[in-house]
A and B are shown apart, each in its own frame.
Chain A
């Protein structure tokens, strides 16, 4: 399981990059979902978000999941390319699989990589 050390994480499997403001779905989550076939990003540029707000809807061949805003802030960019190629979330969840970029983000309350890794291990029972 890939857990980049420069990112922050939520209990609902979103990652956040404080340097770029990007947010997405973790490697753990995409593995659980397996082949993703549909992504619908529910936020648009300019939306003011709070943690826990519905950010995206993801469907795979066998499952469905909701993605929540990891931080508070304002949406500055939306990854439109994901709608055409949802499988990017599987192949490159931390790179090309970014979902939204957020400015003026408040990332307090997020886990660091080590805490998230431990959290995932505990869940896997």
Chain B
């Protein structure tokens, strides 16, 4: 089935207007020997058949609905209020284009302005952009911004090894052509040394210091001292933060962050096997000219009405071209809308509630697991909703056992950190009932035996 509306008669009339006899004549510029290839693809399906085919693929998966899940490691199983998707399914929002014509895009523009405001308020920073692709690329863009801020004169980035491995990998890829050195990016480093371990790496050549909050292992640290050290050396300080944690924890702004980025998926965005997600990027006003990404500003229209418009667009690729801080064009507009509606629906009270439930349930789970023979909590640092468990057997064996009992277990940290074999990263959210946690504890106990 296609979505092409033309009748044969209309096609003929149009060909005549163009002045050709057949469709093929329209393609005379295409090199003849390669023209009109036969594509070896399955024949077309009707909508009904396609629906059944896709249901087949979807049906061949275990899900966090049909199974109990304790898997996090960067993206989390949170409850998405029904109203979020109802708003996202409005054709006026999801089939709209980028708001380059502000007169007829005020819906998108005001929604993004509100998203910017919500994120700035959440992180404690002064401004937010309209989004990056995900948390990993948001960190890479923070590096881009710091590099541009110092006009390429500072070429070192200091990053904690306890930042999400995928963020560090993305940063390595992005900085390939920039002549930058990364220090601290070592999975074999002492992972229990705290933020102080980075202090010795900061010098006059450092553009940016990057940490995660809570860190990849779920741990909460105070970064005040590290931020001071960074600033004393003239460097910028970036925190990659979990947005749910920010509902109750001190903001990175209070610790001296210049840039706060992160993965916005926990804010009303489904897990959806890896994306699309949402990279949020917030910073202080004095850095915005070096910041990448779209920015919505408030103004007035010709009729004296308050309105919104993409602003400081001369920073972007379509004007600065090779001198732009970044090449970003399409971002994650609809997901920013999802985050804004999520935060609006939950508000101060609801969002705090979610964070507290995550905290309570995770601590309950941790305490119970710690009491099971063979298992122990690997670190004793305060944590939010994720914690690392040292297991009596390889994690994948335990996870196989859990899967047989309808449980998706935590993440095998040994995959990213050689010293952390048999370490499992367990996440607990408001979606996990006490019964489910008790079941996890029981099955973990069982798994340690056979």
Contact = CB atoms under 8 A, between A and B. Distances in A.
B233 interface: no
B289 A64 contact: no
A40 B289 contact: yes
A38 B323 contact: no
Nearest to B320: A64
A16 B47 CA distance: 69
Interface string A87-117: 0000000000000000000000000000000
Given A37-B312, A38-B312, A64-B320, A59 B151 contact: no
A63 B289 contact: no
B312 A64 contact: no
Interface string B315-329: 100011001000000
A59 B323 contact: no
A64 B320 CA distance: 6
A46 to B, nearest CB: 16
B96 interface: no
Interface in A30-49: 37-38, 40, 42
B151 A64 contact: no
A125 interface: no
Contact of B151 (A37, A42, A63, A66): A42
Nearest to A59: B314
Main secondary structure of the interface of B (DSSP, over half): helix
Chain A interface residue number, banded: 10 to 19
Nearest to A64: B314
**Most chain B Cβ neighbours within 10 Å, of A38, A42, A60, A64:** A64
B323 A37 contact: no
Nearest to B316: A64
Contacts of A62: 313-314, 319
A62 B311 CA distance: 10
Main secondary structure of the interface of A (DSSP, over half): strand
B244 to A, nearest CB: 36
Interface string A48-80: 000000000001111110100000000000000
Chain B interface residue number, banded: under 10
Contact of A37 (B314, B319, B320): B314
Contacts of B312: 37-38, 59
A61 to B, nearest CB: 7
A60 B315 CA distance: 10
Contacts of B323: 64, 66
A39 to B, nearest CB: 10
Contacts of A59: 289, 312, 314-315
Interface string B297-322: 00000000000000011110001100
A64 B323 CA distance: 10
A111 to B, nearest CB: 26
Interface string A9-42: 0000000000000000000000000000110101
Nearest to B315: A59
A47 B320 CA distance: 26
A15 B323 CA distance: 24
Contact of B314 (A38, A42, A66): A38
Contacts of B151: 42
A61 B289 contact: no
Contacts of B319: 62-64
A66 B321 CA distance: 12
B296 to A, nearest CB: 15
A118 B151 CA distance: 36
A102 to B, nearest CB: 20
A63 B316 CA distance: 10
Interface string B265-306: 000000000000000000000000100000000000000000
Interface string B322-339: 010000000000000000
Nearest to A65: B314
Interface in B145-176: 151
A84 to B, nearest CB: 12
A35 to B, nearest CB: 10
A64 B289 CA distance: 12
Contacts of A63: 314, 319
Contacts of A38: 289, 312, 314
Interface of A: 37-38, 40, 42, 59-64, 66
Given A37-B314, A66-B323, 8 more contacts: A40-B289, A42-B151, A59-B312, A61-B313, A61-B314, A62-B313, A63-B314, A64-B319
25 contacts: A37-B312, A37-B314, A38-B289, A38-B312, A38-B314, A40-B289, A42-B151, A59-B289, A59-B312, A59-B314, A59-B315, A60-B314, A61-B313, A61-B314, A62-B313, A62-B314, A62-B319, A63-B314, A63-B319, A64-B314, A64-B315, A64-B319, A64-B320, A64-B323, A66-B323
| In the A-B complex, the 6 residue pairs with the closest CB atoms | A59-B314, A64-B314, A64-B320, A64-B319, A38-B289, A63-B319
